[in-house]
Amino acid sequence: MSPVPANPANYAQTTLNFRTGGRGTIEIGAELASAVRSMKIETGLCHVFLHHTSASLILCENADPDVRVDLETFMAKLSPDGNAMFVHTAEGPDDMPAHVRSVLTQSELTIPISRGQLALGTWQGIYLWEHRIDGHHRRITVTAHGAGS
């Protein structure tokens, strides 16, 4: 693939809102892809930022949902709810474990944009990972920059 000639950079930004159903993953790739298409960036980068400290973003296999089940099982063992070592329990026994999980994962992702689309690998999906037991409203800022159409 030949490089795209340098053009003045274009920037676009939008906010997406999600309501989670509690602990677990929500595939958000379709919403991100739609946002990127509407921004009219042909070649560039898409930055995705989650505005919360008890949820995270992951780029993960999207072919077998057992992968996400196994990730949840791993995190439950690594940072269990109600662990007596945690002092911060202001919002319940899942409060500090949710913060630990979010620190160990990511609150932002950067994905290339090619031909106006997110350039993901064959088995890659983008997920919002809720770490709290109860559902919450989650806000994500999507910023795209690059050469426009």
Residue 30 resides in a domain: yes
pLDDT at 148: 81
Task: Give the three-state DSSP class for 116.
Answer: coil
Count up the domains in the chain and report the number: 1
Residues 6 or more apart whose CB falls under 8 angstroms from that of 9 comprise: 44, 145, 146, 147
Residue 4 resides in a domain: no
Q: Are 52 and 33 in contact (CB under 8 A)?
A: no
pLDDT at 4: 44
pLDDT at 81: 96
CATH number for the domain harbouring residue 113: 2.60.120.460
Residue 112 resides in a domain: yes
Residue 5 resides in a domain: no
Q: Which H or E run includes 103? A: helix 95-104
pLDDT in tens, the chain (149 residues): 444 444 556 999 999 999 999 999 999 999 999 999 999 999 999 999 999 999 999 999 999 999 999 999 999 999 999 999 999 999 999 999 999 999 999 999 999 999 999 999 999 999 999 999 999 999 999 999 999 86
Residue 82 resides in a domain: yes
Residue 147 is encoded by which pair of tokens? 């050469």
Residue 1 resides in a domain: no
Residue 3 resides in a domain: no
Q: In terms of residue numbers, what domain contains 35?
A: 10-148
Residue 20 resides in a domain: yes
